Copies of this chain bind each other. A is one copy, B any other.
Amino acid sequence: MGRSEDDWIRAIAGRFPAGPRTQVGIGHDAAVVELDGRQVVLKTDVVIDGVDFRLAECGPGAAARKALAVNVSDLAAMAALPRACVVGAVLPRGVEFDLFDALAKGFADAAAELSCDVVGGDTSVADGPLVLAVAAVGEPGPYGVYTRAGGVPGDAVSVTGALGGSILGRHLTFVPRVREGQVLAARGIPHAMMDLSDGLSTDLRRLCAASGCGADVVAEWVPIHPDAHRAPTPGTPLERALNDGEDFELLVAHAPLSPGAVSELAREGVTLHRVGTLTKAPAGVRLVERGAARDLPPQGYDHLRKP
């Protein structure tokens, strides 16, 4: 049995066949379910003290914001609009009301900022770290929903911002790319789309698997965030941009765009950085550096691998 998170998910996915109401199921950023004749986009993402944030360092407000924002980011990646959420909180035993109230304030502030009302929740206490399990529902935007599938060989692969070093703070303060998702969808640009939560080297492999493609990433094209030059994560700045994760930028496969089209998007506030090209599947996911191609292994965040 493989030991990566994706191996495990792949191994169980067959247990959950899509029902008649399931338009998009397991294996995408969010699910799309038909309820009463309409598409509802549904997502859950769980964050944990000591894994996804350090409560003692960032405080409850930032933890709550991240718990909601990671879910909104997944809705954004489907070009869906966040609408409402419920919050499951597992509090460490002995928790004081002040922490609970500060978490509530953090969720209320984040809900207002991210246009995703908190409409319910469940609170438990256990002998473990703080767990915040948010589930969010959204509506498809006016231009429909997008998934990780749909990319074709020859597509450009682009990201909406610079990558790497998010641990220095952006993993908490990122703004989910809801607006960018809508702008791209309004122009019919994405063939496939997802958010970069676990690092380009890991997430691009997921988009490729869903689209039945390979991909070449061109090292020189990858936009490296200034934070990637000073982050404490392993590797070179380029490796950090490829592997750090939690950039929460959109990863988009699309027909190559003219410089004019890219400029027009930029005028609408969406910067599309091309990082590579989709290829035929057998080529796999590769990094092309100074003209030489080599395998780009998924070295982003994996819950089952990191100690």
Interface, chain A (partner B; CB < 8 A) = 1, 5, 8-9, 11-12, 15-16, 18-19, 21-22, 24-26, 28, 30-31, 33, 35-40, 42-46, 48, 50-52, 83-84, 86-90, 97, 100-101, 104-105, 107-108, 111, 117-129, 131, 133, 135, 137-139, 303-304
Given the known interface contacts A22-B117, A50-B126, A88-B44, the answer about A101 and B11 at a Cβ–Cβ threshold of 8 Å is: yes
| Oligomer: number of copies | 2
Given the known interface contacts A12-B100, A125-B304, A127-B50, the answer about A119 and B42 at a Cβ–Cβ threshold of 8 Å is: yes
Structural contact, A124 and B303, CB atoms closer than 8 A? yes
Q: Whole-angstrom distance from the CB of A116 to the nearest CB of chain B?
A: 9
Q: Which chain B residues lie closer than 8 Å to A139 at the CB level?
A: 35-36
Given the known interface contacts A86-B43, A100-B12, the answer about A25 and B119 at a Cβ–Cβ threshold of 8 Å is: yes
Q: Whole-angstrom distance from the CB of A97 to the nearest CB of chain B?
A: 5
Q: Whole-angstrom distance from the CB of A122 to the nearest CB of chain B?
A: 5
Q: Which chain B residues lie closer than 8 Å to A108 at the CB level?
A: 15-16
Structural contact, B133 and A46, CB atoms closer than 8 A? yes
Q: Which chain B residues lie closer than 8 Å to A39 at the CB level?
A: 36
Structural contact, A120 and B30, CB atoms closer than 8 A? yes
Structural contact, A88 and B46, CB atoms closer than 8 A? yes
Q: Which chain B residues lie closer than 8 Å to A22 at the CB level?
A: 84, 117, 119
Structural contact, B133 and A88, CB atoms closer than 8 A? yes
Q: Would you list 11 pairs from A and B whose C-beta atoms are within 8 A, ordered by A residue?
A: A12-B101, A16-B104, A18-B119, A21-B117, A33-B137, A42-B135, A44-B133, A44-B135, A48-B90, A123-B303, A137-B137
